Structure 1
Amino acid sequence: MLEEREAWLGIDLGTQSVRALLVTADGTVLGRGSAPLTGRRDGERHEQDPEDWWAGVCTASRQALRNIRAVRIGGLAVCGTSGTVLLTDPAGHPLTPALMYDDGRASEEGAQARGVGLRVQDTWALPKAMWLLEDHREAPPTPRAHHPHLHLVRPSPFRLAHQPDVIVTHLTGEPPPTDSSHALKTGYDLEHEAWPYPRLAELDLPDGLLPDVVRPGTRLGEVCAQAAEATGIPLATPVIAGMTDGCAAQIASAALRPGSWNSVLGTTLVLKGAATTPVQDPTGVVYNHRAPDGSWLPGGASDVGAGVLTATFPTAAPTVMDRRAASYEPSGAVAYPLTSPGERFPFRAPTATALLLGEPKNDADLWAALLQGVAFTERLCLDYLHHLGAPLHGPLTFTGGAAQSPYWNQLRTDILARPARVPAQTDPALGMAALAAHGTGAGPLTEVAERMVRIHTVLEPHPTRTARFAEPYARLIDELTTRGWLPPPVAAHAHARLTQDTTES
């Protein structure tokens, strides 16, 4: 008779796919699954159908759990894209499309929110929720009990939901409280762990719109019979409150001790670190999540990322293009490869657009320019964090889909001029498996993650290659400053760091 093992299920709702990973306490992957997602992009608009997420979860979970024997699933947690939001009815059924993390329609609403003292960006969940409310203002009212603590101005037929809330509703059979990680971009005050009701009331938000909030790692309920049948996840499996995909990837890198950083390179670029106190940024470009233990996870999200490769070369073989790009170091062109209009980090510039300085010689040279441009942005993000006084003395870890490219990993290491680590598993779903283990009593999250995460590769920068990229990086800094996107003090700090040890905090 086989001895039963315990494992935890992590589910990641990405931009292009749903991924599920079943992991034991020592990081052994017992099963994995995925399902593609599609969205609708049109200029500044980016939407997905929330019901597609559930269909993807059903497919990915069944794949991850097929042929699993003598395994007890201790719990599961779900992460989603940060800032993705929709409206549901009071029972949690979607009433609108989901406005994705980079949807740019809510610039007026973002200005209104900042006008009442809330530090939000235009693509954050709160402005987009306001936009959705305005777009659906003629919807018929639905009876709803008054919430005595909201102090807002009118009853709502809607409930605001973040991406994982939709999935947890399906899993448990009822709409859950949201986790504080996703609530951050809806205006939730993580320092006081409360909605800032007086300021939100100035925005005319209706009573009953906002969900209750719990810390990540909190038990939300159990998998109900209908969800068990649809997903293959055992009945009564504990469902644990998750975090955003950036935080999930950070857990999957075990970058949870102060001074550690994780660079998540997928469709876009997210940097997440760990600190004992919040990193203060008066512009709101860098914001701070909060870990389950109350410590701080500063970071930011750029709209530069690997998505530009898919958009520019939809049929290319990345490994082939990487080999060809190695002949163009540096490229004949300098790129700032935004995946969509507007930038959020390392500077806030709603009008920013992708740029290409110079003329690439061929497709391989253009591919090289895009790879290098993402790495230049990554370095500028770290330079900006250093400018703010963020602790940078710990290890840097690469995760996200792009971390599967050995060439790009070394290129990034050389341009950043600092060592980097690559775990064996770079999927945010691993972070959710670790969080599920923590939430079901396996121990402190930092220790759980360090037991689960296996470092596969340690990279060292080559000084001669680092020097080769100094001039194009400086050229990009100057162009971003000339266009009015990058503040001159930040540009000066980045220039100064070209001759300094970038591993110093």
Structure 2
Amino acid sequence: MNGTHEMKRTGQMNKMDQMKITGRLKKTMVVTDLSTSAVKSYLYDCDSGAVLADSQVEIPLSVPETGAAETDPSLWWDGLCRTVRELLQGHDGSQVEAIAITNQQITCVFLDEDGQPVAPALLWMDTRCTEEVERLLVRCAEEGMGSGWLTETTGIPPSDSWGLAKLLWLRSRSPELYKRIRRVASVDAYILDKLCGRFVTDETNACFFHLDIRTRKPAADMLAYLNVDVELFPEVVPPGTVVGSLGPEAERQTGLPAGLTVVAAASDQPCAMLGMGVGRSGEAVVNLGTGTFVMAPTVAPLADGRMMTNISALPSQWLMMGTHYLTGGAMSWLRNMLAAAGSSAGFADLSDSAAHVGPGSDGLIFLPNLSGTGTPRWDPDARGLFANLGLHHSLGHMVRSVMESTGYGIRGILDTYAEIGIRFERIVMAGGPTASDVWRQSLADILQRPLELSPVREATPLGAAMLAAAAVGRFAGVDEAVRAWSHPGVVIHPRREFAAVYDKSYKHYSAWLDAEASVRKRMEAE
């Protein structure tokens, strides 16, 4: 890592030395990752960064109407308490040094004066705010402002991937409910308040709501234009900040020791970049989960309407991000359809079925736009389909085409980076889908470039652990933690003999995206 990014914490290091002298150096730390589909808690060894234990509970998704994606936010807190208690079974809770929080981005929680939810949380996948965004763009155009200033301020194209747009939608949809809102929280702010009684978030979460990515301060002019009170939002701190100590009620419900240090780590994607050991120009990460995120560090807040620009978890850096929807979410959808028909097939079984199908899936193309699409099209109304389906296609073909759609989406994102002038010498990938040999090899074949497989399957919690370790003084800075706890992975090499097959399939995939959009718009006009 570049030495200019070192963050010294002299006072913390002095405290660290004192703890060593008195023999009070603790051995473990807890990281809780509040992802889209689950709450996952991990117990890390403070010396090696190794996972000693983990626990997970699923979080159900509610879809009450077209475009909706909601959940009960209280389930996150219940999930944290349950998973942490399970972690402590067989481990000494008195040896835990800190708990750190990382979380899904963009998801919006609406709280009343007592800190209670007034409505279900709107997940990042919720696209119902699209019409509100369109009205805002019309207003900007009519007033001669254009929309570029919004992207320059937030780093995000005005879309359903903007957390603030979800608040605007709720204000328009349910004005009486909106009047009850006293706090607008990201997932981490909701949980940190419960842990230590401080309504606070970090910069990597706040930039999806009310933060100006250039100044890292609240975007006062933008909020005034939107008639949104800045006081609704939490206090903002840098990634990897100690924000308080565990409160009595949290102690009782989690089983963690009283006064435990609480750390606001960062949102999931910046944490994943750290966990994969990436932080230099010319490097990128591909983080595969419910969706796919292709991220690259930058030394300036570049803004492009086809991408998202986030604040990095490393000091004095930003993070450009291309998005692809859906990845694991699409495979879960397919598995759920099979389960509804009585199948007990799990993800490993589905991967095995795809292994018997050749590259290109015999012409079958899957569009994974089950909740709209991201880079470079940003079309929230886009919908998924299986194209060119024939009697000769099997379940294995369908599974493999779902896998291959991820590679096509990543290829489009890398093409967009190249058009911006950003190219990569090293690409590291991680996430649940990489557990499938078929899936990860298809990515290398479609992209026709080597991909380094992170030895850490779940990079997000490791990145959060790195931030927490630096925050409590285990390391002089985050860079040092990354160097100590990250390791190179196995390289997946592309098979050149399939380049022509996938060049053709990628063209077909792009053509079907165009066709879906064209037909959908004609149908909407009827």
**Quick one: distance in 1 between partners of 2:128 and 2:374?**
14
- Assess if the C-alpha contact under 8 Å between 2:286 and 2:427 holds in 1: yes
Q: Which residue of 2 aligns with 1:389?
A: 421
SS state at 1:234 partner: coil
Decide which of 319, 325, 329 is 2:348's aligned counterpart: 319
Q: Which residue of 1 aligns with 2:269?
A: 246
SS state at 2:266 partner: coil
Q: How does 1:310-389 map to 2 (within 5 A)?
A: 310-314=332-336, 315=339, 316-326=345-355, 327-338=357-368, 340-360=370-390, 361-389=393-421
**Quick one: distance in 2 between partners of 1:140 and 1:291?**
32
**Quick one: distance in 2 between partners of 1:236 and 1:218?**
16
Q: 1:3 to 1:83 in 2, by over 3 A?
A: closer
- In the TM superposition, what whole-angstrom CA distance separates every residue of 1:423-470 from its partner, at most 9, and x where no partner exists? 332222222111111222223223312322344532221211333311
Q: Which residue of 2 aligns with 1:407?
A: 438
**Quick one: distance in 2 between partners of 1:443 and 1:121?**
39
SS state at 1:185 partner: coil
- Assess if the C-alpha contact under 8 Å between 1:279 and 1:288 holds in 2: no
**Quick one: distance in 2 between partners of 1:67 and 1:266?**
30
The alignment's C-alpha RMSD in Å is 2.4
Structure 2: unaligned runs, 5 residues or longer: 1-22, 141-148, 152-157, 340-344, 519-526
Q: Which residue of 2 aligns with 1:209?
A: 232
- Assess if the C-alpha contact under 8 Å between 2:239 and 2:265 holds in 1: yes
- 1:28 and 2:50 matched: yes
- Assess if the C-alpha contact under 8 Å between 2:470 and 2:477 holds in 1: yes
Q: 1:74 to 1:455 in 2, by over 3 A?
A: farther
Percent of residue pairs identical: 24
What's the TM-score once normalised by structure 1's chain length? 0.86
- 1:56 and 2:79 matched: yes
What's the offset of the Cα at 1:140? 9.2
Q: 1:349 to 1:9 in 2, by over 3 A?
A: same
**Quick one: distance in 2 between partners of 1:479 and 1:78?**
40
Q: Which residue of 2 aligns with 1:98?
A: 121
Q: Which residue of 2 aligns with 1:7?
A: 28
Q: Which residue of 1 aligns with 2:469?
A: 437
Structure 1: unaligned runs, 5 residues or longer: 143-156, 486-505
What's the offset of the Cα at 1:482? 5.3
Q: State the AA in 2 paired with 1:410.
A: Q
Q: State the AA in 2 paired with 1:376.
A: Y
- 1:168 and 2:192 matched: yes
SS state at 1:332 partner: helix
- In the TM superposition, what whole-angstrom CA distance separates every residue of 1:11-52 from its partner, at most 9, and x where no partner exists? 111121111112224222112111111010232000000000
Q: State the AA in 2 paired with 1:14.
A: S
| Corresponding residue pairs, total | 467
**Quick one: distance in 2 between partners of 1:370 and 1:141?**
43
Q: State the AA in 1 paired with 2:500.
A: A
Decide which of 426, 447, 450 is 1:416's aligned counterpart: 447
- In the TM superposition, what whole-angstrom CA distance separates every residue of 1:341-388 from its partner, at most 9, and x where no partner exists? 321223211221113321151111111111111111111111111111
SS state at 1:469 partner: helix
- 1:457 and 2:490 matched: yes
What's the offset of the Cα at 1:391? 4.0
- In the TM superposition, what whole-angstrom CA distance separates every residue of 1:235-283 from its partner, at most 9, and x where no partner exists? 22211122222222222211122222111111111112212233331x1
- In the TM superposition, what whole-angstrom CA distance separates every residue of 1:369-411 from its partner, at most 9, and x where no partner exists? 1111111111111111111122422x21211211221221112
What's the TM-score once normalised by structure 2's chain length? 0.83
Q: 1:446 to 1:405 in 2, by over 3 A?
A: farther
Q: 1:47 to 1:420 in 2, by over 3 A?
A: same
Q: 1:390 to 1:288 in 2, by over 3 A?
A: farther
Q: 1:202 to 1:17 in 2, by over 3 A?
A: same
**Deviation larger for 112-121 or 221-230:** 112-121
Q: 1:225 to 1:380 in 2, by over 3 A?
A: same
- In the TM superposition, what whole-angstrom CA distance separates every residue of 1:40-79 from its partner, at most 9, and x where no partner exists? 0232000000000001101111222221148732322212
- Assess if the C-alpha contact under 8 Å between 2:323 and 2:413 holds in 1: no
SS state at 1:138 partner: helix
Q: Which residue of 1 aligns with 2:39?
A: 18
What's the offset of the Cα at 1:97? 0.9
**Quick one: distance in 2 between partners of 1:181 and 1:231?**
26
**Deviation larger for 159-168 or 381-390:** 381-390
- Assess if the C-alpha contact under 8 Å between 1:159 and 1:210 holds in 2: yes
Higher helix share: 2
Q: State the AA in 2 paired with 1:413.
A: A
Q: Which residue of 2 aligns with 1:475?
A: 508
**Deviation larger for 58-67 or 199-208:** 199-208
Q: State the AA in 1 paired with 2:133.
A: G
**Quick one: distance in 1 between partners of 2:306 and 2:159?**
7
